Amino acid sequence: MKSISTPECAPPAGHYSQGIVHNGLIYVSGMLAVDPATGERRLGTIEEQTEQALRNIEGVLKAAGSGRDRVIKCTCYISDIELWGRVNAVYATFFGTHKPARAVVPTRELHYGFLVEIDCIAAVEG
């Protein structure tokens, strides 16, 4: 196993890796809307939070030699299922014609007051 750490994603706030590569897959930890350059929490709209979380995922994927077109599965945790349509619109724009498998998990509350958290599994080149 290989741990992935990149400045293209906010540093972990606890005892975990941004991602782990194992047997040709990258397992990306749950990403929140934290700006990697400043470490600042981006508690704006659900759309802004979703976009930042996906950009953080993309940074980890890139560091592992993967990309958004190689994502196999995502899990989206959302604090209010009524916001799902807005999350899905940003998600669809991010992935374009690529449609990874996905689970949506409504949850009452996310860490630090965030509205959305996203993790994924993707194939790695080679």
Report the C-alpha gap between 124 and 111 in whole angstroms: 29
For 14-30, write each residue's pLDDT tens digit.
999 999 999 999 999 99
Query: pTM of the prediction?
Result: 0.95
| 2-123 fold | 60s Ribosomal Protein L30; Chain: A; (3.30.1330)
Question: For residue 17, what pLDDT is reported?
Answer: 96
Tokens for 115, please give them. Answer: 């509205």
Per-residue pLDDT tens, the chain, 126 aa: give them: 999 999 999 889 899 999 999 999 999 999 999 999 999 999 999 999 999 999 999 999 999 999 999 999 999 999 999 999 999 999 999 999 999 999 999 998 898 999 999 999 999 975
- DSSP H stretches of helix in the chain: 46-63, 84-95
Sorted by where each begins, the domain ranges of the chain are 2-123
